[in-house]
Amino acid sequence: MKRVGFVLKVKQDRIEEYKEHHRRVWPEMLDALRAAGWHNYSLFLREDGLLFGYFETPESLAAAQAKMATTEVNGGWQTLMAPYFESPNNARPDQMLIELEEVFHLE
């Protein structure tokens, strides 16, 4: 199982709305994530908007993203989430994930 960590930046003036959406993630989106191999998925948000995400997947971040890209629900969720992120080129959030290198893991 591949452990994936990534960062994004939520606009500071949109943090509360962003958190509210994640208290009510669409059931279809949750199902799609599971079916695409996203396991043990967590998001952590710092007060300045720095978002750290973590999940485990059988292959890689790229493979997990590719599987999600084939789902209809993902397109709708990414469109909904796009205004919440700092993006220099108006990319969808799922296209802006900056993968972090794992440097230590304690089993």
Residue 106 lies in a domain: no
* More confidently predicted of 44 and 98: 44
Residue 35, in any domain of the structure: yes
Q: Encode pLDDT of 33-81 as tens digits.
A: 999 999 999 999 999 999 999 999 999 999 999 999 999 999 999 999 9
- Looking at residue 61, what is its pLDDT? 94
pTM for the whole structure: 0.91
Q: Which of 21, 22, 39, 105 is catalytic?
A: 22
Domain assignment of residue 63, yes or no: yes
Give the CATH number for residue 37.
Answer: 3.30.70.100
**Residues in Cβ contact with 44 at an 8 Å cutoff, skipping those fewer than 6 apart:** 51, 52, 53, 54
What's the confidence (pLDDT) of residue 89? 73
Instruction: Let me know if 22 is a catalytic residue.
Output: yes
Quote the number of domains for the chain: 1
Q: Is residue 42 part of a domain?
A: yes
